[in-house]
Amino acid sequence: MDVIKSTTAASHWTALQVMQDAPVIPVIVLNDVAHAVPLARALVAGGIRMLEVTLRTPQALACIERIAREVPEAVVGAGTIRNAADAQASAKAGALFGVSPGYTRGVGQACRDAGLALLPGVATGSEIMMAQEDGFTELKFFPAMQAGGPAMLKAWSGPFFDVKFCPTGGVTLQNAPEFLALPNVVCVGGSWIVPADAIKAGDWGRITQLARDTAGLKKPG
């Protein structure tokens, strides 16, 4: 099977660069467009600039657009990309990378066509092989804890020695170091940096501190 091809200019960010920028990519759910810019600024102030805004609310695309336009220090991406329409709308809103909960060839092709660096979601060996066939070697392991946690990633390090992962789903500040200690893990994805109660209350100082705490996580060696 041929590797899927890009038909448009790609983002200057690659999936690996997105993963390498910080130990954690925040998984963000926004219900109010007014929260988008102050949240992004709070995260950037804490040392986190790769921001995954999930397409789980009607306001998500507007939030991506506001961040892309008003917080140039941030690199905003779209999470929960499930189809070509999601990829196209995300790129139009200003997203520079995409994250999907699973993988299909259609999603992979749509993201390449839209110029989005993609972190495809995988939970099984077969899904990893499908993504690799299409040229993706940096993958999101989701849902990480429910699908086997660090033990599964250790098992995959043999047959999939050339794949790098961003585990997401059930990852916390407490268990993130165990994931980051694995040689095939570049970063983790987590929502603990952006708690819903802090966003609702506009407690941006708390989010900046959580980002600082998270940015301080380092891979061993």
Residue 153 phi, psi (nearest 5) = -65, -35
Predicted pLDDT of residue 40: 98
Predicted pLDDT of residue 55: 98
| Number of domains the chain is built from | 1
What CATH number did the domain enclosing 163 receive? 3.20.20.70
In a domain, 187, yes or no: yes
Q: Which are the contacts of 41, defined by CB distance < 8 A and separation ≥ 6? A: 71, 74, 204
Q: Which of 5, 52, 154, 218 is catalytic?
A: 52
Predicted pLDDT of residue 8: 41
Q: Which of 65, 138, 140, 164 is catalytic?
A: 140
Instruction: Compute the CA torsion angle 67, 169, 17, 127 (nearest 10 deg).
Output: -120
Q: Tokens 């170091």: give the residue.
A: 177
Predicted pLDDT of residue 95: 98
d(C-alpha 71, C-alpha 28), whole Å: 16
d(C-alpha 160, C-alpha 165), whole Å: 10
pTM of the model: 0.94
**pLDDT class of 198 with cuts at 50, 70, 90:** very high
Within its chain, how far is the Cα of 95 from the centroid? 12
Whether 52 is a known active-site residue: answer yes
In a domain, 10, yes or no: no
Predicted pLDDT of residue 221: 60
d(C-alpha 158, C-alpha 192), whole Å: 31
**pLDDT class of 216 with cuts at 50, 70, 90:** confident
User: Is 107's pLDDT higher than 70?
Assistant: yes
**Domain span including residue 26:** 15-214
In a domain, 8, yes or no: no
Reported as a single tens digit per residue, the pLDDT across 4-55 is 544 344 468 999 999 999 999 999 999 999 999 999 999 999 999 999 999 9
The alpha carbons of the chain give a radius of gyration, in whole angstroms, of 16
In a domain, 94, yes or no: yes
Q: Which are the contacts of 157, defined by CB distance < 8 A and separation ≥ 6? A: 182, 183, 184
Reported as a single tens digit per residue, the pLDDT across 58-93 is 999 999 999 999 999 999 999 999 999 999 999 999
